[in-house]
Amino acid sequence: MRENRKEKSKYQEDVSGILINYNDTSVHKALTQFAEILNVANQVSRDNFGISPDLKWITIYGIDKGGFNAVYPQGIGGNLWSQQYVNDILDSAFLNNPRLSCQFPDPVNAMLHEYSHLYGIFPYHKWMSTESEGWATYSATRLSKLLFQKYGAKLWQPAYDYARIADSISEALLSGRPLVWSHPEEIGAFKMWNNYEQKAGLQNVFKNRWQYASRDEYAVFVRENNPSVVNDFINTIIGQESFNQVSTLPSKKYDDLYKTDDWKIIGKLINISDDEMGRHIGQMKMREIDINVPEPKQNAAGIESILMISLLLLYVFGTFKVRTR
Ligand SMILES: [Zn+2]
């Protein structure tokens, strides 16, 4: 996710009611297809759940660091990581390789992840990279399956089985393996929504979360920190007992969450050698990572606000550019 930024782009075009913006014509083919996916995601969401983020535009400036991000309330913006990435997502043999790992950000599931952020976030800071990332990954897999049912493999050209990849994302998350292109803290929330779906059905997942989440333009950075909304959500929707199962998950070592090979997939996309990536991951090995969904607590406002301001500054100065969320 990132703050709303209004930058001018050279070219604009309407693709099935979605406005696409770009500077670099080498992303045009992929961008047109992203717009098609987003258009049908709007429809499938409306038809199945009665709600939709109603995304209106996508801007892919060109090929550069940083990846693409959800932009509240109704857009997606950013770059494609590298020419290698553009080549891969337009390469039939690559996408149809049965060994293609879900740790590669395949175009349909990766775009649906960003799209899913537009269903909104809870007004509680501690849920921002936990619940919101788990939700985005979870929701993307479900939307992906619904799109596949209706439009099949040909929704993306070259056609590939993005529903198979959605299934393997689910499997990975439920066995405690986060996606290298998302966030390690997403495991608990993925489980929470998966469990709730089994209890209440997919339609209630989307409808009920929508009631509690915010989607205003400044939702990400400028908001009150309101644990009572989250408390109400847990008591009314998830149930305290089910919530306890995901709020008490023990932390994990970085090494238990990721395989170095998973990171090499990303390394290839952003021109980091296997050796360099191996060294970088080696340094993280013993780090403890929280994977639970935090219990909502009324906290002293000070520290949270300072943290948010620092995050905002990091975004503004682009320190996060290598992160792919
Ligand atoms: Zn995300």
Please state which architecture CATH assigns to domain 11-251+290-316.
Orthogonal Bundle (1.10)
Task: Tell me how far the alpha carbon of residue 191 lies from the centroid of ligand 1, in angstroms.
Answer: 16
Give the chain's count of helices (H) and strands (E).
14, 7
Task: Tell me how far the alpha carbon of residue 121 lies from the centroid of ligand 1, in angstroms.
Answer: 11
Task: Tell me how far the alpha carbon of residue 182 lies from the centroid of ligand 1, in angstroms.
Answer: 6
Stretch 129-145: mean pLDDT = 97
pLDDT at 65 over 90: no
| pLDDT for the residue 226 | 87
| pLDDT for the residue 216 | 82
| pLDDT for the residue 322 | 39
Residue 46 tokens, joined: 């409306």
**Cα gap 289→252, rounded to integer Å:** 5
**Can you point out the beta strands (E) in the chain?**
11-15, 18-22, 57-63, 68-71, 75-80, 252-253, 288-289
| pLDDT for the residue 298 | 77
Task: Tell me how far the alpha carbon of residue 94 lies from the centroid of ligand 1, in angstroms.
Answer: 24
pLDDT at 58 over 80: yes
Show contacts of 74-83: CB within 8 Å, 24+ apart: 74/118, 75/4, 76/34, 76/38, 76/111, 76/114, 76/115, 76/118, 77/2, 77/5, 78/2, 80/27, 80/30, 81/269, 81/270, 81/324, 82/269, 82/270, 82/271, 83/26
| pLDDT for the residue 308 | 59
* pLDDT per position as a tens digit, 96-105: 999 999 999 9
Residue 176 near residue 116, CB atoms below 8 Å:
no
Task: Tell me how far the alpha carbon of residue 136 lies from the centroid of ligand 1, in angstroms.
Answer: 6
**Cα gap 74→322, rounded to integer Å:** 24
Task: Tell me how far the alpha carbon of residue 120 lies from the centroid of ligand 1, in angstroms.
Answer: 12
Q: Give percent above pLDDT 90 in the chain.
A: 82
* pLDDT per position as a tens digit, 190-227: 999 999 999 999 999 999 999 999 998 765 555 668 89
* pLDDT per position as a tens digit, 161-194: 999 999 999 999 999 999 999 999 999 999 999 9
With cut-offs at 50, 70 and 90, classify the pLDDT of residue 131. very high
* pLDDT per position as a tens digit, 27-54: 999 999 999 999 999 999 999 999 999 9
Task: Tell me how far the alpha carbon of residue 117 lies from the centroid of ligand 1, in angstroms.
Answer: 7
Which residues make up the environment of ion ligand 1, defined by Cβ < 5 Å? Answer: 133, 136, 325
